[in-house]
Structure 1
Amino acid sequence: MGLFVRLADWQTDFKAIRKIRQEVFIDEQQVSPEDEWDEHEETAQHFLVFHSDKAVGTGRITGEGKIGRMAVLKKARGLGAGLELLQFICKFARAEGQKSVYLNAQRHAIPFYEKAGFSVDGEPFMEAGIPHIRMVRNLTEKIEDIVSPEPDSTR
């Protein structure tokens, strides 16, 4: 079975979202729980990506157009789950009337996001003890043309 992405609800999909982010950000990348869980959890639109009917990735977007908390489980990296998730989030944002979106990319994931149509916007900074950089994407471009390798994660 292939990959599919769907809208997720923080209240009903809480366990799947938390499990993925716990494994990727807190366990793997040593982000503190205090930095991981924030005031946007209940108001952001969350997403889940599935492979073989198992949730393997998650992400979210705030009403201001900030994509974040993108995480793909280690066992699912290289399957295209991150790209599938990112495309879905961008299509959702465009359908909701967003003209552009932005994210804080972990520095090692910059090439992934550049290939996905994002551009660096600003100077590097630290977030949750990990080097990041702000990146933006204009949503007037064709989202379906994105082709690139899998990122590890993006806060």
Structure 2
Amino acid sequence: MPANIKVNKVTEQADLDKVFAVRREVFVIEQDCPPELEWEFEDESTHFLATADGEPAGACRWRKTDKGYKLERFAVLKQFRGFGVGQALVQAVLDDLPAEAGYVYLHAQVQAVSLYKKFGFEQTGPEFEEAGIRHYKMIRK
């Protein structure tokens, strides 16, 4: 069990490479997401890297869209799941959003819905498929 989980906003290329490596492992390799669907909107997103005892453990991002603020690409490496890394990532992103971020939403994988509910997100609309994976749209109330 990791003793020290930290989440930092990243802008340096070396840290972005770690973010992309986490996402590649979780989405492309583990979940078989097509790589061309995984890499989009990188330059307009604000990226975060979670570390556990100094090792890369998870990643996520947020970006402003025409609808509001979208939280995306939450990924936790398999060996770090169940230790609070996902919760730390969600909290860090929410803390980083601009004060005027009124409409905050995400597309949650079905198995992660309960995590986002802890932070005030509610499911809206029917289940849908994105990159071959079942999701629900969730909005922060």
TM-score in same-fold range (> 0.5): yes
1:121 is paired with a residue whose SS is: strand
One-letter amino acid of the counterpart of residue 77, structure 1: R
Superposition RMSD in Å: 1.4
Q: Structure 1 stretches of 5 or more lacking a match?
A: 139-155
**Superposed, which structure 2 residues align to 1:26-65 within 5 Å?**
26-38=28-40, 40-64=41-65, 65=69
- The Cα shift of 1:8 comes to 1.1
- The Cα shift of 1:122 comes to 1.5
Name the structure with the higher strand share.
2
TM normalised by structure 2 equals 0.90
Residues 1:70 and 2:70 aligned together: no
Q: Where does residue 84 of structure 1 map in the other structure?
A: 88
**Superposed, which structure 2 residues align to 1:3-22 within 5 Å?**
3-9=5-11, 11-22=13-24
Q: How many residues align?
A: 136
- The Cα shift of 1:96 comes to 4.2
1-structure distance, mates of 2:12, 2:47: 7
- The Cα shift of 1:31 comes to 0.4
Q: After superposition, what is the alpha-carbon deviation per residue over 1:89-114, rounded to whole angstroms, capped at 9, x for unaligned? A: 01111x44212311000112212211
TM normalised by structure 1 equals 0.82
Q: After superposition, what is the alpha-carbon deviation per residue over 1:10-53, rounded to whole angstroms, capped at 9, x for unaligned? A: 74423101110111001100001011111x10110001111111
Identity between Structure 1 and Structure 2 (%)? 37
My pick for the range that moved more, 15-24 or 1-10, is 1-10
Runs of 4+ in 1 over 2 A off after TM superposition: 10-14
1-structure distance, mates of 2:55, 2:130: 29
Q: Where does residue 146 of structure 1 map in the other structure?
A: none
